Amino acid sequence: MLAYCLKCKTKREIKDPNNITMKNKRSAVQGVCRVCGTKMFKILKKQLIETEPTTNPQLARQPLIVELAPQPPTLRLEP
C-alpha cells in the first residue's frame, strides 16, 4: 500500500503494514517507510457502518411523510 513519507517527501510502499481502528471508528494503516524507516500512517476511506435491525417496532425507522401547506394566491396589481 502506498502512503506519503514526510521525510522522503514522496509516496512510498509501507513496510510491515498494520490495520488499526482509530478512536472515531475510522480504519487506518500504520507502518514504516521502506527507504528511510520513518513511521507512516494512512487513513482509509470511510466505510459504511451497518446497523442491526431492531426488533422493537416503536424504535424502527418510519418513512418520513411531509405534507406541504397550500400556498396563498398572489395578487397582481396592474396599472
Q: Which of 8, 64, 58 is nearest to 33 (CA)?
A: 8
Secondary structure of the chain: what % helix, strand, coil (to 5)? 0, 35, 65
Residue 1 has a pLDDT of: 84
2 forms beta bridges with: 13
Residue 65 has a pLDDT of: 62
CB of 32 closer than 8 Å to CB of 38: yes
pLDDT tens digits along 16-63: 999 999 998 889 999 999 999 999 999 988 754 444 455 555 555 656
Q: How far apart (Å, rounded) are the C-alpha atoms in residues 60 and 29?
A: 35
pTM value > 0.85: no
What does the domain layout of the chain look like in residue ranges? 2-43
DSSP count for the chain of H helices, then E strands: 0, 4
